[in-house]
Each structure stands twice: as structure tokens, then as C-alpha cells.
Amino acid sequence: MLATGGAATLVGCSTGGETESSTAESEAEAAGSTDGSMSVVVSSKGYTEQLNLGYIAYELLANNTGVSLVDETGFGGNAAHAEAYQVGDIHAYYDYMGSLWAAHPPKHDEADFETPDEQYEALKSEMESEHPIRILDRADWQNTWAVFIREDAIEGTGIETISDLAGYVNDGNYDIRPAFGDGFKTRSDGFDALLDYYGFEAEHVERWEAEQEFIEAASAQAAGTAVDEGYADLSFGYSTSAWLTTVEDIVYLDDDRNFWPFFHPVGVVHEDVATDAVVSALNKMPDAIPDAKTMQELNSHATEVGSQQAVVDHLTANGFI
């Protein structure tokens, strides 16, 4: 059964025979898959990837449970969600570990974790003790800032990580030309902070910038276009941005010292509706979206056909609905 958006009530169909109907109902209840009296409000934030994740939750619930669904995708940002699940105005959505850790009470200014599993366990313990929610399984991929670079710019250099790039520049190599979106150079999680964190030496950064005249473009996408068209070699973008699917012959440098926090998506479900069937359905997301490339492609497809249709196409093609 494919939901078509808006509020939808999903119920089973009677086959007409009392014994047959009772048997089917008993089997469904034993599987924990039906509760036609329970309403689940599915939400998301308002940008493309979050709308896609919201409709993944909606369609997985629509096709794997018997609950009634209310579509509140595009509900609002971090503050709106943090307030709404306290009072039960929303019930299920996917968020990012970094967002939940930094923007939801109790808010944290730092995320000093060495692995995503370490951050996930701390987040799950804290959020479930502080709020009426459960934190479900996390995906293996994340949507965070990523450094990408032209393959031909690092051919033969051995550069695979940001630490490698720091060593390369500190050895007096200034041939790689960076580009970044407006404001990214000086923001707290931006270019200058990254250079300082990774130990790029000031005298070499100064000479690097003098030789290359770093490009500050109007946006991250414009900076990516500069790399794609050969005006720059290195830039920054969100790792699952749809426009990155159009940038060819690039590789990503590993953030090997975890400058950026982990932004793996996780399921969030209100404890009032956290039945086995609901949890099981929502926990299919990490398998449905196994990597960042898949999310990129889904984001790109959504710009063409809309989020819900893109999600239905993807989940159907891969056997999840």
C-alpha cells in the first residue's frame, strides 16, 4: 500500500469470513504489526534531504504497520521539534546525531567523540533519559561537511586525509587551489578553523594563499562548480548534497581527526507510539539508505519529481515497500 500524502488512515481489509478474519487478525497482532486505533504524526525539517527522510518514515510505516498516519513533513527546525515531541505533537522522524547533541536540551557546545558509535551511545542514553522519546538505529553514512578534491590534483602525492594535506602544505607545496562558499572561511566550523585544528602552519598558509588567491564563491555549490570546471582543486560541501552528483573526478579527504561532529541520521520515535511494529519499520531506514551516495542520488531525484514520489520510487525499486 502506497500512501499518497496528507493524513491517511491505513487499515486492514476483511475477507468476509469470521474464522478467516479472526485468524488473520490474530496473526497480525502476534507479529505486532497492526494498531488501527493508534495515530502516528510523522515529521521532518523543511529542506530536501529532511523531506526525503520524512517520507521514508511515512512510507515505511504505511507499508509495514496498521497505524493511522498524519503527514507533518516540513514541520520545522530543531527548536520546533524539541518542543513538539515533549507534548506529543509529533511522534516519528529522522534527525542527525550532531543536531540532536548540539541543539536539543541539554545542549552541548562540543562533541568530543572519537567514533560515531561513541557519540551514538552517549546521545541515546542522554536523550532517552531527558525526553519522552526513543533513539533508534543509526545509518552508516552521515550528512556533514566534507572536503573534496580533484583526483588529478593529488595524483602521486599520497594525500588521502586532511592530515596528509596539512603535511603537504607544511612541506612547502602550494599548488592545490581551494575554493569555498561565502562566509565559510571565517565561520567557527569553517576553513580557517579547520586549518588551525589540523596544524597547518601560519607561514605556509600565508604563502599558500598568496600563490593561489583562494576563491571565495557565492555559495558552496558555486565553489563546487569551480572545482568541477577546473578553476579550483579543492572545496567543501555537505556530503549528501544533490549537486555533488554532478561534480566529476573528485575524491573525498578523510576527516581523520574528526574536526566535524558525527551527523549520522537516527530514528526518533515518541515513547507513546514506540510499538515493536513501529520501531521495526523505522529501523529499516539504514538498510534502505545504505550510504551517502544513495542519499545524494535520492536528493537529486527529489528535485525532479518531488520528495514523496522519489522516496516511493526508491523504496519500491529496492524491495522495501
Is the pLDDT at 25 greater than 90? The verdict is no
Q: Is 146 helix (H, G, I), strand (E, B) or coil?
A: strand
Contacts of 239 (CB under 8 A, 6+ apart): 141, 142, 143, 144, 145, 146, 252, 292
CB contact at 8 A, 285 and 56: yes
Q: Output the pTM of the full model.
A: 0.77
Give the tens place of pLDDT for each residue, 168-194: 999 999 999 999 999 899 988 899 999
Q: Identify the structural domains of the chain with CATH numbers, from first to last.
A: 40-142+263-318 (3.40.190.10), 145-253 (3.40.190.120)
> Cα separations (Å) of 179 from 3, 150, 160, 182, 192?
43, 12, 19, 10, 12
Identify the DSSP state of 253: E
Is the pLDDT at 237 greater than 90? The verdict is no
CB contact at 8 A, 277 and 154: no
pLDDT band at residue 239 using 50, 70 and 90 as cut-offs? confident
Is the pLDDT at 297 greater than 50? The verdict is yes
Query: Which residue shows C-alpha cell 516511493?
Result: 312
Is the pLDDT at 23 greater than 50? The verdict is no
Contacts of 16 (CB under 8 A, 6+ apart): none
Identify the DSSP state of 243: G
Contacts of 66 (CB under 8 A, 6+ apart): 10, 11, 12, 28, 33, 34, 35, 36, 277
